Chain A
Amino acid sequence: MSHNIIKIENLVKNYDLGDLTVHALRGIDFNIEKGEFVAIMGPSGSGKSTLLNILGCLDNATSGNYFLDDVDVKKLTKDQLATLRNEKIGFVFQSYNLLARTTALENVELPLFYNSSVSAKERRERAVAALETVGLSDRMYHFSNQLSGGQQQRVAIARSLVNDPVIILADEPTGNLDTRTSYDIMDVFQKLNSKGITIGLVTHESDIAQFTSRNVTFRDGRIKSEIIVENIKNASEALAQMPVEVDY
């Protein structure tokens, strides 16, 4: 039996808005195994982003159990959660969330600053290696505002990689990008996944989901369907088949 990186049982999340209670998640059972590349899909308001935020320990569940790499997240304090995020999770946001006026390299180094067991030298080496992995070794000293959207998202992926997490969680990483750049980013994810890195990704675009190994579709706070993808599309091939656009 393969090892479950993520295991959730009967997870509920309610948002209390005064008189009105929004049921974002209505009891979810869900696992992600090591080495999987899971796409979490669904329309807006289906609860997929809420789930991802809880998986990333950025938000708390109302009830239910969540085990991340066999750790019971419910029992942890705020500071222990911070350490857990620092050591086990890499998060990629739709809007990149890079620090302004800061080089790509320094952005990637950021998580390691909060890990006191990593020396300054090791921090630099690991950040350089992460940037090489996402193919940005020639842009290391560019400031975040000097990079294109796709390049910024690659920096964000490198940042999520640098702490050597058990899982990378990506919230609509291609939501702000055009199709070609989106495929490019999916190519990066596929290559990381082929190296054995577990990835959970939220998207509402079905063509993006085709590059993953399992699609979980949400609707109104419940899992509607789960599909194991038979023919996983290869992003680099898809890129090659795309007509070359004229760059202005």
Chain B
Amino acid sequence: MNILNLLKVAINSLTKNKFRSFLTMLGIIIGVASVIAMMAIGQGSKQSIEEQISTLGTNLLFIRPATQTRGGVKMGAGSAKFLTVADANAIKRESEFVSAVSPMVRGGGQAVSIYDNWPTNIYGVDIDYFSIKNWELKDGRLFTNKEIKSSQKLCLLGNTVVEKLFGEAYNPIGESIRYNKIPFKIIGILKAKGESNFGQDQDDIIIAPYTTVQKRILAITHVHSIYVSATSSDVSQKASIEIEELLRRRHKILPSDESDFKIRTQEEIMTRLTSTSDILTALLSAIAGISLLVGGIGIMNIMYVSVTERTREIGLRMAVGGKGLDILLQFLIESTLLSVIGGIIGILLGIGVSKFVSNFMSWPVHITMDSIILSFIFCTVIGIFFGWYPARKAASLNPIDALRYE
């Protein structure tokens, strides 16, 4: 039989048994769609965790004083006065893997506007801090180097502070607040960041020049910590070592002694956070694997049964002159058509379900090409094989045995 005739016979056979064809395809559709949707939902969650981690800052290194012991009494972390603005400047000047450096001092107290009051932290920082911590302006401006040098009483407010002191949708730029009775002029508002991974409201913050906070609020000359941004995430480890050496030299620490400061890279912080998303990835792979297995077994069963059920038809076709090869090719074409069409519908359905989940349940989803290719190839190959295998078995029978098959 020529191939055109075979194609005609195969298509005829599929269209004449629409319900059977549909049911057979359903196994493949569900198999492909479920894998794609599962992977999309999982990948989405993973990505959103990673995005949240990145709001912590760009290639961040965080330097704070080590805990110290005074006369046997252990003091709290950050209580030591070892870090200075000069240290921060030295890092900026001398380290080659560093793109931005900012000292940070932090004070607690009460902020008061003409309408309301609110307890919050004030952060004294350098301009680089905004880029290091990925802060963006919603409105207004940052302070300038000149304003920092002259300890101007200027501040930027986080979204939560604006809401608490002025109410929502109020633009307080140009107005003043008092922080611990000291007046600050508002020059900018920060774009909201939301909660951090630890559930902390990152927008409950007032930012001012470090000089102003040091002199006017805390009356100190040291800094509480230094924020550093490495030029890229690849070199953050190198930057960490470099800064360690630099500060030990500056602090005149003997090689046998421990450092009086600690450096933590963002990677260390991330390692802890990503362990969550790693578990998620493992879970996902397991789900995808099981979906594929279950889908595969479903396809296997339905294909096997629907072809085995047609053993008598195969017997008849052989009785009227169909050769083994004719029968095999017909069933191969049929199962290939079913599998490929089912696979394509499955891909569309999988994408549709993912979109539905993201639109109506507002879950983060991310459809990956990997999941589409993997599930499509896996399901179609199983579909084709189990459409072909029972047909081969039937075609190898004597026509009369195939005809008598119950």
Query: What sequence of 0s and 1s flags, for each residue 76-88 of chain A, a beta carbon within 8 Å of any chain B beta carbon?
Result: 0011001101110
Indicate whether A146 reaches chain B with its CB closer than 8 angstroms: no
Please give me the residue from chain A that is nearest to B9 by CB atom: A113
Indicate whether B332 reaches chain A with its CB closer than 8 angstroms: no
Q: From residue B38, how far is it (CB to closest CB) to chain A in Å?
A: 37
A116 to B313, CA, bound (A): 20
* CB <8 Å contact, B403 and A97: yes
Q: From residue B252, how far is it (CB to closest CB) to chain A in Å?
A: 94
**Residues of chain B lying within 8 A (CB to CB) of residue A78:** 323-324
Q: Using a CB-CB cutoff of 8 Å, which residues 124-183 of chain A contact chain B?
A: 159, 163
Q: From residue A85, how far is it (CB to closest CB) to chain B in Å?
A: 5
* CB <8 Å contact, A93 and B403: yes
* CB <8 Å contact, A85 and B398: no
Q: From residue A205, how far is it (CB to closest CB) to chain B in Å?
A: 22
**Residues of chain B lying within 8 A (CB to CB) of residue A87:** 321
Q: Using a CB-CB cutoff of 8 Å, which residues 319-376 of chain B contact chain A?
A: 319-326
Option from A59, A93, A111 in Cβ contact (under 8 Å) with B321? A111
Indicate whether B5 reaches chain A with its CB closer than 8 angstroms: yes
* CB <8 Å contact, A82 and B398: no
* CB <8 Å contact, A114 and B319: no
Most buried by B among A56, A114, A116, A159: A114
Number of A positions contacting B (CB below 8 A): 28
Please give me the residue from chain A that is nearest to B326 by CB atom: A114
* CB <8 Å contact, A116 and B1: yes
A93 to B316, CA, bound (A): 10
Most buried by A among B2, B17, B322: B322
Q: From residue A111, how far is it (CB to closest CB) to chain B in Å?
A: 4
Most buried by B among A79, A93, A110: A110
* CB <8 Å contact, A163 and B403: no
Most buried by A among B1, B9, B318, B323: B323
Q: From residue A41, how far is it (CB to closest CB) to chain B in Å?
A: 20
* CB <8 Å contact, B320 and A59: no
**Residues of chain A lying within 8 A (CB to CB) of residue B17:** 100-101
Q: A99-B313, A116-B2, A116-B5 are in contact. Are A86 and B321 (CB under 8 A)?
A: yes
**Residues of chain B lying within 8 A (CB to CB) of residue A56:** 319
Indicate whether A53 reaches chain B with its CB closer than 8 angstroms: yes
Indicate whether B272 reaches chain A with its CB closer than 8 angstroms: no
* CB <8 Å contact, A85 and B324: no
Indicate whether B23 reaches chain A with its CB closer than 8 angstroms: no
Indicate whether B16 reaches chain A with its CB closer than 8 angstroms: yes
Between A and B, how many residue pairs show CB distances below 8 Å? Answer: 71
Q: A99-B313, A116-B2, A116-B5 are in contact. Are A159 and B320 (CB under 8 A)?
A: yes
Indicate whether B238 reaches chain A with its CB closer than 8 angstroms: no
Option from B318, B322, B323, B400 in Cβ contact (under 8 Å) with A53? B400
Q: From residue A23, how far is it (CB to closest CB) to chain B in Å?
A: 18
* CB <8 Å contact, B322 and A59: no
**Residues of chain A lying within 8 A (CB to CB) of residue B400:** 53, 58-59
Query: What sequence of 0s and 1s flags, for each residue 38-54 of chain A, a beta carbon within 8 Å of any chain B beta carbon?
Result: 00000000000000010
Interface size bucket, B side? 20 to 34
* CB <8 Å contact, B1 and A85: no
**Residues of chain A lying within 8 A (CB to CB) of residue B326:** 114
Please give me the residue from chain A that is nearest to B19 by CB atom: A101
* CB <8 Å contact, B321 and A102: no
Q: From residue A53, how far is it (CB to closest CB) to chain B in Å?
A: 5
Q: Using a CB-CB cutoff of 8 Å, which residues 85-128 of chain A contact chain B?
A: 85-87, 91, 93, 97, 99-102, 106, 110-111, 113-116
Indicate whether A65 reaches chain B with its CB closer than 8 angstroms: no
Q: From residue A225, how far is it (CB to closest CB) to chain B in Å?
A: 27
Q: A53-B400, A60-B398, A101-B17 are in contact. Are A114 and B322 (CB under 8 A)?
A: yes
**Residues of chain A lying within 8 A (CB to CB) of residue B319:** 56, 58, 85, 91, 97
Please give me the residue from chain B that is nearest to A111 by CB atom: B320
Q: A97-B316, A99-B313 are in contact. Are A79 and B323 (CB under 8 A)?
A: yes
Q: From residue A119, how far is it (CB to closest CB) to chain B in Å?
A: 10
* CB <8 Å contact, A101 and B16: yes
**Residues of chain A lying within 8 A (CB to CB) of residue B16:** 99-102
A111 to B399, CA, bound (A): 14
Indicate whether B222 reaches chain A with its CB closer than 8 angstroms: no
* CB <8 Å contact, B398 and A58: yes
**Residues of chain B lying within 8 A (CB to CB) of residue A100:** 16-17
Please give me the residue from chain B that is nearest to A113 by CB atom: B5
**Residues of chain A lying within 8 A (CB to CB) of residue B185:** none
Most buried by A among B2, B5, B319: B319
* CB <8 Å contact, A110 and B320: yes
A35 to B321, CA, bound (A): 23
* CB <8 Å contact, A85 and B320: yes
Q: Using a CB-CB cutoff of 8 Å, which residues 299-324 of chain B contact chain A?
A: 312-313, 316-324
Q: From residue B395, how far is it (CB to closest CB) to chain A in Å?
A: 9
* CB <8 Å contact, B398 and A59: yes
**Residues of chain A lying within 8 A (CB to CB) of residue B1:** 113-114, 116
**Residues of chain B lying within 8 A (CB to CB) of residue A159:** 320
Please give me the residue from chain B that is nearest to A59 by CB atom: B400
A110 to B320, CA, bound (A): 8
* CB <8 Å contact, B320 and A86: yes
Please give me the residue from chain B that is nearest to A96 by CB atom: B316
Most buried by A among B1, B5, B312, B313: B5
New contact pairs (11) apart from A85-B399, A99-B16, A163-B320, CB-CB < 8 Å: A58-B319, A60-B398, A78-B323, A85-B320, A87-B321, A97-B403, A99-B313, A99-B316, A113-B1, A114-B323, A116-B1
Using a CB–CB cutoff of 8 Å, the interface residues on chain A facing chain B are: 53, 56, 58-60, 78-79, 82-83, 85-87, 91, 93, 97, 99-102, 106, 110-111, 113-116, 159, 163
Report the 3 A-B pairs with minimum CB-CB distance, sorted nearest first.
Answer: A86-B321, A111-B320, A58-B400
What are 12 A-B interface contacts by the 8 Å CB criterion?
A53-B400, A58-B403, A85-B321, A86-B320, A86-B322, A87-B321, A91-B319, A93-B403, A113-B5, A114-B317, A163-B320, A163-B321
